[in-house]
Structure 1
Amino acid sequence: MPRNSRFFSRRSLPLLAASVLALSLAGCATSGENDAGADDERPVVLTTFTVLADIAENVAGDNLRVESITKVGAEIHGYEPTPGDIRRASEADLILDNGMNLEAWFGQFVEGMDVPHVVVSEGVEAIDITEDAYAGMPNPHAWMSPVNVQIYVDNMVDAFSDLDPDNASEYEANGEAYKAELQTVQDELVDELSVLPDNQRALVTCEGAFSYLARDAGLTEKYIWAVNAEQQATPQQITSAIEFVRDNDVPAVFCESTVSDAPMQQVVEATDAEFGGVLYVDSLSEADGPVPTYLELIRHDATTIIDALTARN
């Protein structure tokens, strides 16, 4: 991920608003993505990033057209909206965002728009960040818990039913079926990890993006940095991770797909831990990649964690 910003990126919003006005007065053409759906008369649900879009598609079925503002692989935390993004949002029938300070650009992004807006993490019990400049703020990665995503689904069912009451029963049925799949992943994760000794029940990652997953799986969380760093990990952070791994005889450590694993490789070199693999968090992959859907993302991460932590047993 780019490190120019994490939660706060508002520099270009006033310019974007002026740009949108100018583009509107000039009668600019719609984007290629909207052109592709020009003949699609279904209500449009616009989400802030690809993970939310995939979850929403599972609830919506064929009744709604779900789109993501950001593309696969995009940095969501410090994203800077384009004039085209703002126009798409103004034309949507419903906008969904994660909330919990994930998309700090979002408030000004939708300000003044007469479009319904739903925060899908509403009702999730937040875990606060405890270190660095963001201490005391909620960890925004609530979707990394299949339990929390069931709350996301319920919020989407309610929002879609309000938007399209004629298909409310279908949204409810889709939501229940999807929640059952989420619970299956959660149960497998807990069951498979139950064989670990207490001291090895630890999830050591580069970033603290797995607080919710670790809590639900009964794992102690340890990370090199709490929030994606604008500079390289400090020697103190790496030393702290090394000491934790040694003290608890942690069998494996991990890093996220969007950051360099070099700091974690230093932990591996200094301990008996193996590098357990790459975990995915903020974005899905392309359709032919390893995690093209949210369920595949969370299953990939769960399987990677299970296989690496239980390899010695």
Structure 2
Amino acid sequence: MRLFRRRAAVLRREPHRTKLLTAVVAGCALAVLALLPACSNADSDRLEIVVTTNILGDITQSLVGDAASVMVLMPAGADPHQFAISAQQAARIEHAALLVHNGLGLEEGVQRHVSAAEQSGVATLSVGERVDPLNYRATDRPDPHFWTDPARVRRAVEVLSARLLELDGIDANAVRANTDRYLAEVATLDAWMTDRFAALPAESRRLVTNHHVFGYLAQRFGFEVIGAVIPSGTALASPSASDLADLATAVRTAGVRAIFADSSQPDRLARVLATQAGVNVQVVALHTESLTAPGGGAATYLEMMRANTDAIVSGLTKP
């Protein structure tokens, strides 16, 4: 009997517990829903800068720091001429506070998205057009590979920093401090590269690459570009048999010791050329158009340029 009365009392309390639990859950749900708009507004208020290539992305992130969000479209190790983007990335371009791109025909795979953003009123910056670009040899086509010259990168940093400071809501003091620090690091890189290349005699400063990427470096540090396996500024082109034969002759005549091929692209054609040249020519991998993932030897622009400088000096020094 006592057990029966205890069970009845429990049953009488259950509705109250259920109502209390329901009220608590409802209250928590309302609290969460109340917070969501605030979180959404905080995210939407944070400036987002979209950058096409990872080399420019690293430079931009170095200047921005925590003053804004930076989204880089090009993944590590990709080819800037060929990489594509997702629909989600394309949508984020449309809402960017600033779209930074290299320009000069480099980002062939995403150019239509850049053009669409410009037409829809997104603020854009073509960095390559602002650094006194060179043309490819014997053509009127601009060469987009300006980053191989640290002096032009300093100019690019100044141009990019000035544009960032025009954005409403950005921490101008942080951007200025980051800019000063990064300009000093690029100046140090420039001086170091000058010293490293000074060890090479003039007759050794001859370059053959898988495609034309070192026009700016050649001008800045006194190199002669003998030629390229792919006679074009884009890796999308293909050399003919006569192109390879002519370049092989030039390599033998100039006594070139190394052919430099981008690490993100197959070096088969460079090896074919080395075989056709009929001399002891090694194929040396460089990071010329893309950064690597962390730990890959070229995860930042500064790291990439130091690695390439050491590889070039070593490749042109070895007998």
TM normalised by structure 1 equals 0.78
RMSD in angstroms over aligned alpha carbons? 2.6
**Does structure 2 conserve the Cα–Cα contact (< 8 Å) formed by 1:100 and 1:140?**
yes
Instruction: After TM superposition, give the deviation of residue 276 of structure 1 in Å.
Output: 4.8
Unaligned runs of 5+ in 2: 1-38
Residue 79 of structure 1 and its aligned partner are, at CA, apart by 4.3
Secondary structure at the counterpart of residue 173 of structure 1: helix
TM-aligned CA distance change 1:195 to 1:72, over 3 Å: closer
Q: For the residues of structure 1 that align with 2:59 and 2:221, how far apart are their CA atoms?
A: 21
Deviation at 1:271, TM superposition (A): 4.0
Count of residues paired in the alignment: 275
Instruction: Show the counterpart of 2:258.
Output: 252
Aligned equivalents of 2:171, 2:235: Cα separation in 1: 44
| Structure index of larger Rg | 2
Query: Equivalent residue of 2:67, what SS?
Result: coil
Name the CA distance, whole Å, in 2 between partners of 1:201 and 1:125.
24
- Report deviation, 1:58: 0.6
* CA-CA distance at 1:248 after TM superposition: 2.0
1:109 to 100, 110, 116: 116
The Cα shift of 1:158 comes to: 0.6
Write the letter of the residue equivalent to 1:193.
Answer: F
Deviation, structure 1 residue 81: 4.4
Q: Structure 1 182/140 Cα, relative in aligned 2: closer, same or farther at 3 Å?
A: same
Q: Which residue of 2 aligns with 1:275?
A: 282
Residue 273 (structure 1) shift: 4.1
- Aligned partner of 1:263 among 257, 269, 272: 269
Q: Offset at 1:80?
A: 4.4
Secondary structure of the structure 1 residue equivalent to 2:71? strand
Q: Is the 8 A contact 1:284 1:293 kept in 2?
A: yes
SS of residue in 2 equivalent to 1:223: strand
What whole-Å deviation, never above 9, does each CA across 1:84-121 have from its counterpart, x for those lacking one? 22210122111111111223324433144333212222
Q: Retained in 2: the 8 A contact 1:51–1:293? A: yes
The aligned amino acid for 2:281 is: E
Contact 1:195 1:310 in 2 (8 A): no
The answer to whether 1:223 aligns with 2:228 is yes
Rounded Cα–Cα distance in structure 1 between residues aligned with 2:170 and 2:306: 33
- 1:72-87 to structure 2, matched below 5 A, reads 72-87=76-91
Q: CA deviation at 1:292?
A: 1.3
Separation of aligned partners in 2, 1:88 and 1:54: 19
Confirm or deny: 8 A CA contact 1:245 1:271 kept in the other structure. no
For structure 1, the 5+ residue unaligned runs are: 1-34
Check 1:111–1:175 CA distance in 2 against 1; reply closer, same or farther (3 A cut): closer
For 1:97 and 1:85, how far apart are their aligned partners in 2? 14
SS of residue in 2 equivalent to 1:67: strand
Is 1:300 aligned to residue 307 of structure 2?
Answer: yes
TM-score of the pair, normalised by structure 2: 0.77
Residue 94 of structure 1, aligned match among 94, 98, 103: 98
Aligned match of 1:59 = 63
